Structure 1
C-alpha cells in the first residue's frame, strides 16, 4: 500500500514490529481472531534484526471480541503517531 493512500472505509492496515518472527505471528493471530484479514506480509525490521509484519484487517467483519471492544470504545481525537511515524 502506498503511504499516501488510505485503506477503504471498512479496512485498516496494521504493522507489527517485533524482535522475532514468532512474536509477530502470535500478535497477528490474535488480530485474526477478531477481524477478517488478508494474508500477512513479513519483512526484516532494519539493521537491528527483528521482523516487521503487515496485514490488512476488514473491520466490517468482526468476531465477538472485537465487536464488544469497538462498541465500548470511543475515539478521543487526540491520538498521536509514534516518533518514527507521520
Structure 2
C-alpha cells in the first residue's frame, strides 16, 4: 500500500467516516468552527452505504477553543495508530 505524503507542518488531513452524509457534514462543520479548512470532499464508504469525508485543516489558523487546546496538548504514549487504521 502506498503512503500518502505528509501534510505541511501546520496542516492536518482529516477523514470522517459516518453512516450518512448528514452526520459526516455535521462533524466537519464543528471542525471548521475551530480551524480554517479546505473544501470537503466526500466518497462512498464501504458496502453498507456510508460516507467518507476528507478535509484539510490549517492548525496555524485555529480559533478558540482549538487554539488553547493546541497550546497545551502534548503527545503521549497513547498516540498510536488504531488496529483498523491504515
Structure 2 length as normaliser, TM-score? 0.90
1:1-80 correspondence runs (5 A):
3-80=3-80
CA deviations on 1:34-53 (whole Å, 9 max, x unpaired) are: 00000000000111111000
Q: Which runs of 5+ in 2 are unaligned?
A: none
Count of aligned pairs: 85
Runs of 4+ in 1 over 3 A off after TM superposition: none
Q: Which runs of 5+ in 1 are unaligned?
A: none
Structure 1 length as normaliser, TM-score? 0.90
Instruction: Give the Cα–Cα distance (whole angstroms) in 1 for the partners of residues 41 and 4 of structure 2.
Output: 19
